[in-house]
Structure 1
Amino acid sequence: MVHILTELSKYLVIILFAVYTLSSFTVLFRKSDPDRENRIFLRQSVCMYALHFLCHLVIFAVEQKWSIWALYLGEVGLTLVIFLIYRIIYKNADRLIVHHMCMLMLIGFSELTRLDFDAALHQFEVAILAVAITAFVPRIVVHAHFIRKLTWVYGVIGILALGAVLVLGSVTYGAKISFTVAGITLQPSELIKIIFVFFVACRLYRSTAFKDIVITTIAAALHVIILVLSSDLGAALIFFVTYICMLFVATRAPVYLIGGFGVGAVAALGASKVFNHVKVRIAAWKDPFANIEGGGYQVAQAMFAIGTGGWFGLGLYQGMPETIPVETSDFVFAAIAEEFGGIFAICIILVCLSCFIMLTRVARQIHDTFYQMIALGFGVAYGTQVFLNIGGVIKFIPSTGVTLPFISYGGTSIFCTVVIFAIIQGIYILRHNENEIYVEDFDLEQDEVVPVKRNEGGAEEVLKRHMQQQNKDRARTTKQTTKPSGRGAEQPKRTRQRQITQEEIEGFWDEEEDRVQKNRRRNRRSQTEYEEKW
C-alpha cells in the first residue's frame, strides 16, 4: 500500500509543481486583469498545499509518527499567516513573491522532514521567528527615511562582524564561517550580506564620482578580503559579484564591469593555488571519480543521485540521499532530484529564476536610486547564491559551500532570506505608491478619492465619471460667469452631456503621468539639496 501511495504521489507532485511554475510565468510575463490573476493565485495556492500534503502523507505512511502531522499543521499555519500579513496589512505587496517564498519554504520543510525531522523542526522554529520579526519590515522600508543616512554605520558593522568571525569563528569544512553564542550557531556572512548591500547602496546613491567610487571599492574589498582570509570563498564571491553589478548599474560604465570581473578571475586563480580545501574541490570538480573514496566522494554521490532519479524520481524513501554528505544543506538539491525527479528539480530552478526576475524588475521600476540599488543588490546576491549552489551540485562549477535559499537547512540562511524578501516587498509597495494617480469617484455614496492605475481593471470607468463631473463643473462655472441679464437677453442653449472619448482618457493619463514625473524630479532635487546642506 505504501509503495502504491509513493508511486502515485510522485507523479501528482510533479504535475502540481509544473502547474504552479507555469502559472508563475503567466503572471510574470502576461498582463492580466485582476480577476484572472486572482484565479491564477488561487490555483497556485491549491497546488502548493496539495503538494505539501502529499509529501507529508507519504512521510507519515513510512514513519508512522504523529509528530509529523503536528509539524505539518504548523507549517500550513505559518504560510497562512504570511498570506494574511501580505493581504491585510500590505495590500499593495507583490503576491507572486509571497507565493514563491511560501512554496520554496514548504518544499524545504518537506524534504528536511524526510531527511532529518529534528532539522526540519529547527528550521520551522527559525522561520516562525523570521516571519514575526519581518512582519514590520515593509512598513519600516516605506516610512523610515533615515536608513539611507547610516552609510558608515553599515560599513563599520560589516567589517567588524566579519573580523570577529575571522578571529573567533569555528572551522567548518575548512572555512571559518560561524561562531556559537549561548548555544546558538550563527553564520554572520548571511547577516552582513544584507548590511553590505545597504552600505553600497548608500554610497552609490550619494555619489558616483571617481574619488567616491575608490573609497567605496576599498571598503567593499575589505569585506571580500576578510571572507577570503576566513576561507569562506562562496560568500566572498557573492559579495564581489553583487558589488560589481551594483557599481556597473550605478555608473553605466562598462570598464568597471569588465575590469572587476577581470580582477575577480585573477583572484579566483590565485585562491585555487593557495587554499588546500579549494584545491580539493577543484580536483573533485574536474574528475570526482579519480578520488571517489576521498575528495571526490561528495560530488560523485550527488551525480549518482541525480542520474538515478531520472526525470520522474524514485519517490520519497525510495532513494538513498543519506549517502550524500551534507545532504540537508549544501547538497539538498541532489537529494530532491533523486526522489522527486529531474522535472521537479527544473521547476525549482525556474521558480528561483522567477524570483530573480521579480527582484531585478522591482529595481528597474522604482524611481528612487537608493531603493533601486538595494533591490538590485539583493536580486544579484540571491541569483548568485542560487547559481553557486545548484551549479556546484550538478558539477557545472566547483562546489562553494553556499546554501539554497529557503530550501537548505540553516537557520541564519532562512532568516536572512525572509528579511531580504520583506525588504523587497517594502520597495515594491513604494514603487506601487509612486505610480498611483488619485481621482475623485463621484459614483460612490460619498465622494471619495481613490487611486487608479493605467490599464487596471475598473480604472477607465472611474476616470470617465471623474472627467464627466469635471466637464459639468466647468460648464456650470462658465454659465455663472456669463449669466445673461435683462428680459430680452439670449438664453444659453442646453446641451446634452457628451460621452468621454478614449482619446481624452489617454490624454488625461499622459498629463497626470507627466505631472507625477515632474513632482518626482522636484522631490529628488529637494532631497539632494537638503542632504548637501546638512
Structure 2
Amino acid sequence: MTNTIDSAETDQPVKKPLRITKILLMVMAVAIGSGAYMLSGLGMDQTLDTQYWVQLGVMFALAMAFHIVLRLRAPFADQYILPLALTLNGLGLAMIHRLDLVPPGTNLANNQLLWTALSVIISMAIVWFIIDYRHMRRFTYVWLLASAILLILPFLPFIGVEIYGARIWVNLGIGSFQPGEVAKLTLAIFFASYLSANRDLILLAGRKLGPLTFPRIQDLGPLVVAWLVAMGVLVFQRDLGSAVLFFGLFMSMIYLATSRLSWIILGLVAVGAGGIIAVNLFPHVQARIDGWLNAFDMDMIYAEHGSHQVVQGLFGLASGGLFGSGLGEGRPDLVFAANSDMIIASFGEELGLVGLAAILLIFFMLVTRIMRIGLSSRDAFGKLLAAGLGCAMAIQMFVVVGGVLRVIPLTGLTTPFMAAGGSSLLANWMIIGLVLLISHTANRPMVAGPMVNASGVGSGAAVPGQPVEAGER
C-alpha cells in the first residue's frame, strides 16, 4: 500500500496571520503598567509630568520592537509569554516610582527603566542571533565553568562588594551587579545539557531497594555538584535564598529527567544534612532561623538583622485588607527594602488581597505557559531547559512570598520582573528570550519533503522537526 498526500497542500507555504490577539495583549500589558504608574503618582498628589510619558513611550516602543523581532525570527513563539512579562515589569516600575516619591526621594524608577530597556534589548538579541538553541547543549562543561566564574566574581578583590551582610555583588564602576542571577540561567543550561545526554545511563543503571531504584555512586556527580554549589553560596556568600534556588533547580530537573522518587529522597537527605551543618556552624543562618521562629519577640524585632523587616511587612499586609489602601495611599515605605525584597508586601498593602492575588495569578500563568512549552518541545534538552526554568521561577516566587508571609525564613531573593535591581531583571528577561526560542522550535510546522513509503516510492510527506518557512500557524 502506498502513502499519498496532496502535494499541492504540502508545497504551499504557511500563511502568516496577523496575530491581532498578541498585539492587543501587549497593548493591554503596557496599559496596565502605565496606568498603575499614573495612579501611583496621582495618589501622591503628583501631576502627569514628562517622566510618565517617557515611561509610557519606552515600554510601548520596547513591546512593539519585540513583537517585530518575534515576527521576523520566531513567529511561532508562544504569544502569551511576552505580554505577561511586560505586565509584571510595568507593575514593578509603578511601585518603585511610587516609593521614589516619598521624601527625601530617590531616582530608582529611572534606573529601573534603563535596566528594563537594556534587558529587553538583550532578550531580543537572544531571539535574533541564536539560530538554534539546541547548539548550546554541545558546551556542557563550558556552562558549568561559566557558572563557577560568575559565583566566584564577588570574592575577587577590588570588584567584590558586601551589602547587608551578603557578598554577592560586584562593582562595575557605574553600579553594582549580582552575577549569581545570571548563574541561575547558566546552571540551568548545564543541568539540561548534562541530563539530556546522560538520562538513559542514570535511568537504567542503579541498585533496587524495594520499589525504589537508587543511582550508582558514579552517577551521583551532578547531585554532589549541585549540593556543593548550594552550600558554597550559603557559607561563603551568606545568601540563603540563592542556595535554596540553585539546589531546588537541580532537584526539579533531575526529577523531570528521571521521574524517580529516589532522587528526591537523596536530595532531601542532602538538604537536611546541609541545613543541620549550616544552623550549627554559621551564625548568619542561625540568625535567620531565630528571626523566623521568634519574629514577634521584642528583643528580636530590635536586634541587628532581626525580624523588624518581616514584622513591618506583615503589618502592612494586614492594613491593606481585602482591597488595599489604593496606589499612593498607604505607607509601604515604612518597610525596609520595600522596593526590592519586600515589594510583595508593598503591593499587598496598597492593592489588598485581591490585587496581590491577581499579581500572583499572573506569575502562575507565566510559569504555566513556560511549563507547557517544556511539554511541547520535541527534544530532551529543550524539554528540560524550559521546564527547569519554569520550576526555578516557581521556586523563587514560593521562597519570596513565603518569606514575606513568614511561612519560611526571609531569604532576600527578589521578585522576578518587579523588584528594583538590574541583575535580576536582566537574568529574567534572558530567560524569556530562551523560552520564546524553545516555543518557536516546538510550535513550527513540518517541512514538505520526500518520505519513502513501504513500496520505496517517495510520497512528499512532511519531515518532522523542520519548518516549512518562518511563518505563523
Counterpart position of 1:151: 140
Corresponding position: 1:344 with 2:351: no
Report Cα offsets for 1:106-142 as digits up to 9, x if no partner: 1011111111261111111111112222213134444
Counterpart position of 1:333: 344
The alpha carbon displacement at 1:193 in A equals: 1.0
Corresponding position: 1:283 with 2:274: no
Counterpart position of 1:387: 398
Whole-angstrom CA distance in 2 between matches of 1:45 and 1:156: 37
1:63-142 to 2 correspondences below 5 Å: 63-64=46-47, 65-116=49-100, 118-142=107-131
Q: Which amino acid aligns with 1:94?
A: D
Corresponding position: 1:180 with 2:171: yes
Whole-angstrom CA distance in 1 between matches of 2:92 and 2:334: 19
Structure 2 residue ranges without an equivalent (≥5): 1-15, 101-105, 202-215, 450-458, 467-473
Whole-angstrom CA distance in 1 between matches of 2:398 and 2:40: 30
The alpha carbon displacement at 1:78 in A equals: 2.4
- Structure 1 length as normaliser, TM-score? 0.72
2:276 to 266, 269, 293: 269
- The question of whether the paired residues in 1 share the 8 Å contact of 2:227 and 2:270 is answered with no
What value does the CA root-mean-square deviation take over the aligned residues? 2.8
Corresponding position: 1:221 with 2:227: yes
- The question of whether the paired residues in 2 share the 8 Å contact of 1:234 and 1:402 is answered with yes
Q: Which amino acid aligns with 1:202?
A: S
The alpha carbon displacement at 1:226 in A equals: 2.2
Query: Cα–Cα, structure 1 residues 324 and 437, in superposed 2: closer, same or farther, change >3 Å?
Result: same
**Hey, which of these two has a bigger chunk of helix by percent?**
1
- The question of whether the paired residues in 1 share the 8 Å contact of 2:99 and 2:339 is answered with yes
Counterpart position of 1:321: 332
Whole-angstrom CA distance in 2 between matches of 1:409 and 1:118: 11
2:412 to 401, 404, 419: 401
Query: Cα–Cα, structure 1 residues 145 and 315, in superposed 2: closer, same or farther, change >3 Å?
Result: closer
Q: Which amino acid aligns with 1:375?
A: A
What secondary structure is seen at the aligned counterpart in 2 of 1:407?
A: coil
Counterpart position of 1:170: 161
Whole-angstrom CA distance in 2 between matches of 1:213 and 1:207: 9
What secondary structure is seen at the aligned counterpart in 2 of 1:107?
A: helix
Report Cα offsets for 1:437-463 as digits up to 9, x if no partner: 4569xxxxxxxxxxxxxxxxxxxxxxx
Counterpart position of 1:495: none
Counterpart position of 1:197: 188
2:377 to 366, 371, 377: 366
Whole-angstrom CA distance in 2 between matches of 1:267 and 1:402: 20
Whole-angstrom CA distance in 1 between matches of 2:24 and 2:56: 21
- The question of whether the paired residues in 2 share the 8 Å contact of 1:130 and 1:415 is answered with yes
Whole-angstrom CA distance in 1 between matches of 2:133 and 2:35: 43
The alpha carbon displacement at 1:163 in A equals: 2.4
What secondary structure is seen at the aligned counterpart in 2 of 1:289?
A: coil
Q: Which amino acid aligns with 2:387?
A: L
1:248 to 246, 255, 259: 255
2:35 to 54, 58, 77: 54
The alpha carbon displacement at 1:213 in A equals: 3.1
Structure exhibiting the larger radius of gyration computed from Cα positions: 1
The alpha carbon displacement at 1:373 in A equals: 1.6
Query: Cα–Cα, structure 1 residues 279 and 512, in superposed 2: closer, same or farther, change >3 Å?
Result: farther
The more displaced of 373-382 and 54-63 is: 54-63
Query: Cα–Cα, structure 1 residues 183 and 251, in superposed 2: closer, same or farther, change >3 Å?
Result: same
Corresponding position: 1:423 with 2:412: no
Relative CO higher for 1 or 2, CA cutoff 8 Å, sep ≥ 6?
2
Q: Which amino acid aligns with 1:411?
A: G
Report Cα offsets for 1:370-396 as digits up to 9, x if no partner: 111211221111111111111111111
Whole-angstrom CA distance in 1 between matches of 2:37 and 2:285: 38
Query: Cα–Cα, structure 1 residues 437 and 143, in superposed 2: closer, same or farther, change >3 Å?
Result: closer
Percentage of matched positions with identical amino acids = 25
Report Cα offsets for 1:63-82 as digits up to 9, x if no partner: 33433332333233323323
The alpha carbon displacement at 1:363 in A equals: 1.3
